[in-house]
A and B are shown apart, each in its own frame.
Chain A
Amino acid sequence: MSDRRYPDAAAGDFPAPPTEFTDREDRTVEIRPYDGNETAYESLVAMYDAFDPADRAQGIPPGGEERIREWLDAILAGDCHNVIAWCGDEVAGHATLVPDGDAYELAIFVHQEYQRAGIGTHLIRGLLGHGQAEGVEKVWLTVERWNRAAVSLYKKIGFETSDAESFELEMGLRLNEGDGDGEDNESGRGDESGQGDESGEDET
Chain B
Amino acid sequence: MKVLCGIGGSDDSLRALDRTVDRAAVADDDLTVAVVENEDSSVAPEDVMQRARDAIDDAGIDADVRRVEGDPGSRLIEIAEREAFEEIVLGGGHTSPMGKITIGPIAEFVLLNAKTSVTLVR
**A interface, CB within 8 angstroms of B:** 57-60, 62, 71, 74-75, 96, 98-100, 105-107, 142, 165-168
Contacts and interface: CB of A to CB of B under 8 A. Distances in A.
B105 A166 contact: yes
B100 A167 contact: no
A74 B108 CA distance: 28
Contacts of B96: 100, 105, 142
Contact of A166 (B95, B99, B103): B103
Kindly state the interface size class of chain B when it binds its partner: 10 to 19
Nearest to A62: B99
Contacts, number: 42
B70 interface: no
Contact of A75 (B95, B98, B104, B108): B98
B95 to A, nearest CB: 8
Nearest to B95: A59
Dominant SS among interface residues on chain A:
strand
A59 B100 CA distance: 6
23 contacts: A57-B100, A58-B100, A58-B101, A59-B100, A59-B101, A60-B100, A62-B99, A71-B99, A74-B99, A75-B99, A98-B97, A98-B98, A99-B97, A100-B97, A105-B97, A105-B100, A107-B98, A107-B100, A142-B96, A142-B102, A166-B103, A166-B104, A166-B108
Q: Lowest 10 CB-CB distances: which A-B pairs, in order?
A: A58-B100, A59-B101, A100-B97, A105-B98, A98-B97, A98-B98, A60-B99, A58-B101, A107-B98, A105-B97
